[in-house]
Amino acid sequence: MAKIVILGGSFGGLTAAFELKRLLGKAGDITLLSDMGKFVFIPSLPWLAMGWRKPEDITLPLRPILERRGIKFIHAEAKGVDADSAKVVTALGEIPYDYLVIATGPSLAFEEVPGLGPDKGHTECIFTLEQAERTNKAWNRFLEEPGPIVTGSVQGVSCFGPPYEYAFEMDYELRRMKIRHKAPIVFVTPEPYIGHFGIGGLGNSKRIMEDEFAKRDIKVITNAAVEEFVPAEVRLKDGSKIPHKLAMFAPAMKGVPAVAHLGNPRGFIPVDGKCRHTKHKNIFAAGVAVAIAPPEQTPVPTGVPKTGFMTVKMAKTTAYSIAAEIAGSAAPASYEMDVLCLMDMGDTAALMRAKPLLPPRQESELKSGVIYKWSKVLFEKYFLWKIKHGLSNLP
């Protein structure tokens, strides 16, 4: 029986685990290792930061949903991978594998900008459950005595969507409370233009986003690189200083330390179209852990976002590739790197679609409307239901 070890219990790891079990049945001995005991629906973290969701609304315990499907669960951190002897190293001992699936997501590189981040720095973040909960507390304190807000991304960021959502959501909430005039908002980004998103824009996203920011009276600074964050002030490399009472910034990402030695200089894993490691043939990777080169060099460095939709596609390709190899059947088609994403905008939302992900493209669009807000809410409920019941084969 093939022993398959999966690292990470989120979009990539869970999809790969459920699909492998469905395809292999008793022929697959599947173990999922995660340093977290629960699945977090990350796209709802900006809502949690706004106080619109509670942790229990967007989390599921991993052990019961995996064990019910005959998948072993180990709640432990992978400390390393020895690719030569095909073993994962953990504090609980070594775990041998025939196939390894890396779905460990990112390590958040706060250390790359002085003063960045909630632990050792002076900014909030909304990329993990703990950070979003902390940001919600900071938001509630801020509301008692509002003032200037600065939000956005530092140089090298790839996950651009959440700061956009957060800026729009704060604007909406402050207007609803009739205190928007007390809280000027500045949006800082390394993108060459607003709506670039690290992928050269989508359709007329530049024009739409410029209009949306203007309509909401949010000041935008593009091509921005941050020199440092000090208490209550952001200092940009061009010498400008932006004072604030609340700052939330997205950090750049790297591969997680346990697998970084298998990756490129930033620790992301190089894979082929079947999600197989380009050097280690029994190692596969899916999601944010995968290396994707930017489509163009921007004046200030930006990275390529890896969305949940792309992650699920990669995880399915990973499962089909491994199952085909075990069964001795033909390898699946290479996964298509395209994107379908819903971006919240407070009172409305935007649908973003690009096929393929990077230009030149066959199709690409960004359009906004209240229908996408409701679609986003419904998608949250649907995805959590799908994960709870292990139904990753559904769209």
- Of 77, 227, 222, 251, nearest in space to 157 by CA: 251
Contact 393/376 with Cβ under 8 angstroms? no
Site residues for ligand FAD, window 330-349 (CB under 6 A)?
A: 341-342
Instruction: At 317, list the tokens.
Output: 């390709």
Give the β-pairing of 185-188 and 149-153.
parallel
Contact 37/67 with Cβ under 8 angstroms? no
Contact 193/213 with Cβ under 8 angstroms? no
**Cβ distance to ligand FAD smaller for residue 232 or 377:** 377
275 among known catalytic residues: no
Interaction of residue 368 with ligand FAD, rule CB under 6 A:
no
Interaction of residue 309 with ligand FAD, rule CB under 6 A:
yes
Contact 222/191 with Cβ under 8 angstroms? yes
Beta bridge partners of 246: 149
Q: How far is the CB of 124 from ligand FAD (least distance, A)?
A: 12
125 among known catalytic residues: no
Cβ atoms within 10 A of the Cβ of 348, count?
Answer: 16
Q: How far is the CB of 202 from ligand FAD (least distance, A)?
A: 14
**Cβ distance to ligand FAD smaller for residue 6 or 221:** 6
Q: Rounded to whole angstroms, how far apart are CA atoms 239 and 227?
A: 8
Query: Judged by CB under 6 A, which of 4, 13, 122, 338 binds ligand FAD?
Result: 13
Query: Judged by CB under 6 A, which of 274, 276, 306, 373 binds ligand FAD?
Result: 306
Q: Looking up tokens 């909304």, which residue turns up? A: 126
Beta bridge partners of 101: 6, 284
Interaction of residue 118 with ligand FAD, rule CB under 6 A:
no
Interaction of residue 34 with ligand FAD, rule CB under 6 A:
yes
From residue 227 to residue 266, the character string flagging contacts with ligand FAD as x (rule: CB under 6 A) and all else as - is -----------------------------x-x--------
**Cβ distance to ligand FAD smaller for residue 174 or 352:** 352
Give the active site residue among 65, 150, 159, 314.
Answer: 159
**Cβ distance to ligand FAD smaller for residue 217 or 363:** 363
Encoded amino acid at 345, one letter: M
Q: Rounded to whole angstroms, how far apart are CA atoms 22 and 90?
A: 27
Which are the catalytic amino acids?
159, 341
Residues that bind ligand FAD (CB under 6 A): 7-13, 33-36, 42-43, 45-46, 77-78, 103-106, 126-127, 159, 161-162, 256, 258, 287-289, 306-309, 311, 341-342
